[in-house]
Amino acid sequence: MSSDAWTLPTAQIAIEAAAILAFAVSGLIEAARKKLDPVGVCIVVGLSAFGGGTLRDILLDRRPFFWVEHSWWLWMLLGLSVLAMFFLQARHFAPTERAVQWPDAVGLGLFTAGGTELAMATGMPAIVAVLMGMMTAVFGGVLRDIVCNEIPYAFRDHRPYAVCSFAGGWVVIAADWLGLAGWVGLLAGATLATALRAMALVFDWRLPRWRTD
Amino acid sequence: MSSDAWTLPTAQIAIEAAAILAFAVSGLIEAARKKLDPVGVCIVVGLSAFGGGTLRDILLDRRPFFWVEHSWWLWMLLGLSVLAMFFLQARHFAPTERAVQWPDAVGLGLFTAGGTELAMATGMPAIVAVLMGMMTAVFGGVLRDIVCNEIPYAFRDHRPYAVCSFAGGWVVIAADWLGLAGWVGLLAGATLATALRAMALVFDWRLPRWRTD
Amino acid sequence: MSSDAWTLPTAQIAIEAAAILAFAVSGLIEAARKKLDPVGVCIVVGLSAFGGGTLRDILLDRRPFFWVEHSWWLWMLLGLSVLAMFFLQARHFAPTERAVQWPDAVGLGLFTAGGTELAMATGMPAIVAVLMGMMTAVFGGVLRDIVCNEIPYAFRDHRPYAVCSFAGGWVVIAADWLGLAGWVGLLAGATLATALRAMALVFDWRLPRWRTD
């Protein structure tokens, strides 16, 4: 950990909050696309937003959870879900399957950086910290897709997903090894992971496949 | 928490025990309906009975679990499952899909009240306590349905389910704010949640849907 | 716990390591059979290898996890997965559905014994310790099958699976009650569970079913 003790927690909370919002939006779009009932919308928004961070905190044995310490977030997401439902009803908004990919990519990057940094701060070895970052980033979306009865993107999509998170996590670790300020690593890692995922979507990058012959 | 320190734990354990039994019966009916093998029956009964409470205790970082502290319950449910299998084999009992709904509704109410009270007692904010109650109530049934290869009732049913639990949880919170004895809140919350769910089933209440046009 | 304090941890770590390897191989075969992409292969290998032990440690509130304390295992499994992919590509190796059953049976026995012993050492009642051993043994395979989009073996297979683990767990408990050295119980329990499962596969043993008439 670098010496900027007073800016790091702020940067961490900002990153976590932005990641939660991005995944909440991805959950909202997915729930609207599936025409879930109002309760289902709230559940999917909540699982998308808090699922990854909660799994990370259980594995790290870290309490309180974000949504316990900042419980007004629960009210906020509840309000957001209700407002969004009225708005979507009124506007005949029909989100496409691809619409969910962009907030998902942003959340992927932010949770990767935040999760890796947090795990590193509790003294985890580098490979474990990167893995924790990946799990934080991937698990919220996996829960969202399972509840919506989809095979999770993270497993289905042949374009790089977890790999982008893996790369972003190592940037956070490298920034720490180089002695850079914590927020620099957070920003660089989040940006790289999101940018890689966005490029994978735009340029249709593919992972190598098994030869079928 | 109110001052009746010596009656509250008794009321809590009684509520938890009744909830476990109700969900064990729901698991037994579902397993019989699906003609699972004997091992499958035991697994489904156990997951239905203890799944919700165990998730709640993991989230609250609370140990020992109910089934560790009172481990004779495991023997009892094992015996219950074996006895029930012999009985059901002999009687050509064919439970309908709806038969599982009534013990499920009772368990929903009891776990809602017990889980909310427990979370409140560990100092959680009100909205978090209500959420913990809901998760306790809903997760056992969700596990039961997943293992039986059904889309969980909680997500599939267009009649109110989690909403009944949400309402019951707030009754427990309100009773505490009003300074009523702990068992009053437990009983009122459990009764309201079960009654709401039963009425939703009887009168076929529906949640509002997305307009499809 | 018996008095051989200096050999038991060694025996436990050896059992755990062998179990992890066995399940890693089962995950590798399953992933190759499903022609998952490279990231999918690594995820399935990791979940199979570490899923069961991690669930057990969360339930026992035991930290650090095996893969945090011995984090070089993560690198080793990553390397193993990559090597295996090159090898399998080159050799046109086509594993059958049954190929996964043998490493799975070995892992079942080893995790049963290790998990039961560990839970007993933390002072759990006998039935709870056996249950923890079963969960350790079964959960890695269940995760493997869920991610590969299969109904888990443990639920689908009409041949005894969890029952073999249950029997093996009681052998570990009995060896402790008889005052035998810890490694004797570990070895006997693991051997019995694996042997029972192997016999169930070879002789096609069936669990009793519901009468259908």
Under a CB-based contact definition with an 8 Å cutoff, are residues C130 and C173 in contact? Answer: yes
Q: From the candidates A30, A33, A37, A76, which should be mutated to test the interface with B, based on the most B CB atoms within 10 A?
A: A37
Tell me which residue has tokens 């729901």: B26
Residues from chain A that touch B59, judged by Cβ atoms under 8 A, are 54, 58, 65
Q: From the candidates A39, A58, A82, which should be mutated to test the interface with B, based on the most B CB atoms within 10 A?
A: A39
In a domain, A103, yes or no: yes
Model confidence at C178: pLDDT above 90: yes
pLDDT computed for residue B87 by the predictor: 82
> pLDDT tens digit string along A25-46?
999 988 888 888 888 889 889 9
Assign B109 to helix, strand or coil. helix
Residues B129 and B127: their CA atoms lie apart, in Å, by: 5
Least confident of A6-20, A25-39, A57-71, A132-146: A6-20
Q: Is C127 in contact with B65 (Cβ distance < 8 A)?
A: no
Chain A: which residues have CB within 8 Å of chain C?
A: 58-59, 61, 124-125, 127-128, 131, 151, 155, 158, 160-163, 207-213
Q: From the candidates C58, C62, C127, which should be mutated to test the interface with B, based on the most B CB atoms within 10 A?
A: C127
With a CB cutoff of 8 Å and minimum separation 6, the contacts of A212 are C35
With a CB cutoff of 8 Å and minimum separation 6, the contacts of A94 are none
Instruction: Please state the rounded mean pLDDT for residues A170-189.
Output: 93
A99 to chain C, closest Cα gap in Å:
24
**Mean model confidence pLDDT for chain C:** 86
In a domain, B1, yes or no: no
In a domain, A208, yes or no: no
pLDDT computed for residue C8 by the predictor: 59
In a domain, A211, yes or no: no
Least confident of A45-54, B160-169, C91-100: C91-100
A169 to chain B, closest Cα gap in Å:
26
Question: In chain B, which stretches have pLDDT less than 50?
Answer: 1-6, 213
Of A98, A111, A115, nearest to A62 by C-alpha is: A115
Model confidence at A145: pLDDT above 50: yes
Q: From the candidates B35, B37, B71, which should be mutated to test the interface with C, based on the most C CB atoms within 10 A?
A: B37
Q: How far is CA A90 from CA A94, B99, B211, B212, in A?
A: 11, 39, 9, 12
Residues A85 and A39: their CA atoms lie apart, in Å, by: 11
Assign C148 to helix, strand or coil. coil
Residues from chain C that touch B38, judged by Cβ atoms under 8 A, are 207-208
Model confidence at C60: pLDDT above 80: yes
A198 to chain B, closest Cα gap in Å:
31
A35 to chain B, closest Cα gap in Å:
6
Considering its fold, how many domains does chain A have in total? 1
Q: Is B59 in contact with A65 (Cβ distance < 8 A)?
A: yes
Return the partners of chain B (3 or more C-beta pairs < 8 Å): A, C
Between C184 and C149, residue with greater pLDDT? C184
Domain that holds residue B130: 10-202
Would you place residue A58 in the very low, low, confident or very high pLDDT band (cuts 50, 70, 90)?
very high
Q: Is B63 in contact with C58 (Cβ distance < 8 A)?
A: no
pLDDT computed for residue A89 by the predictor: 75
Chain B: which residues have CB within 8 Å of chain C?
A: 32, 35, 37-40, 43, 54, 58, 61, 63, 65, 67-68, 71, 74-75, 89, 92, 147, 149
Under a CB-based contact definition with an 8 Å cutoff, are residues B192 and B183 in contact? Answer: no
Under a CB-based contact definition with an 8 Å cutoff, are residues B48 and B136 in contact? Answer: no
Least confident of A17-31, B45-59, C151-165, C192-206: C151-165
pLDDT computed for residue B213 by the predictor: 44
Instruction: Out of A63, A71, A88, name the one closest to residue B61 (CB).
Output: A63
pLDDT computed for residue C211 by the predictor: 56
Instruction: Out of A38, A58, A74, name the one closest to residue B58 (CB).
Output: A58
Residues from chain A that touch B161, judged by Cβ atoms under 8 A, are 39
Residues from chain A that touch C38, judged by Cβ atoms under 8 A, are 207-208
Q: Looking at residue B158, what DSSP letter applies?
A: S
Q: Is A65 in contact with B58 (Cβ distance < 8 A)?
A: no
Instruction: Out of A37, A43, A74, name the one closest to residue B207 (CB).
Output: A37
Q: Is B155 in contact with A40 (Cβ distance < 8 A)?
A: yes
Instruction: Please state the rounded mean pLDDT for residues C148-172.
Output: 83
Instruction: Out of A127, A155, A160, name the one closest to residue C147 (CB).
Output: A155
In a domain, B166, yes or no: yes
In a domain, C208, yes or no: no
Q: Is C67 in contact with A160 (Cβ distance < 8 A)?
A: no
Model confidence at A114: pLDDT above 90: yes
Q: Give the tokens for residue C74.
A: 């993560």
Of C13, A143, A43, nearest to B155 by C-alpha is: A43
In a domain, A209, yes or no: no
Chain B: which residues have CB within 8 Å of chain A?
A: 58-59, 61, 124-125, 127-128, 131, 151, 155, 158, 160-163, 207-213
Instruction: Please state the rounded mean pLDDT for residues A105-124.
Output: 94
Instruction: Please state the rounded mean pLDDT for residues A74-84.
Output: 92
Q: Is B37 in contact with C124 (Cβ distance < 8 A)?
A: no
Q: Give the tokens for residue C47.
A: 């979940």
Q: Which residue of A has its CA nearest to B123?
A: A68
A2 to chain B, closest Cα gap in Å:
30
Residues A20 and A40: their CA atoms lie apart, in Å, by: 18
Q: Which residue of B has its CA nearest to C134?
A: B43
Instruction: Please state the rounded mean pLDDT for residues A44-60.
Output: 93
Residues C43 and C29: their CA atoms lie apart, in Å, by: 13
Instruction: Out of A61, A131, A151, name the one closest to residue C149 (CB).
Output: A151
Model confidence at A147: pLDDT above 70: yes
Residues from chain C that touch B149, judged by Cβ atoms under 8 A, are 151
Q: Is B37 in contact with C131 (Cβ distance < 8 A)?
A: no
Residues B33 and B93: their CA atoms lie apart, in Å, by: 9
Model confidence at C157: pLDDT above 90: no
Q: How many CB pairs under 8 A join B and C?
A: 40
Q: Is B39 in contact with C163 (Cβ distance < 8 A)?
A: yes
pLDDT computed for residue B65 by the predictor: 93
Residues from chain A that touch C37, judged by Cβ atoms under 8 A, are 158, 207-209
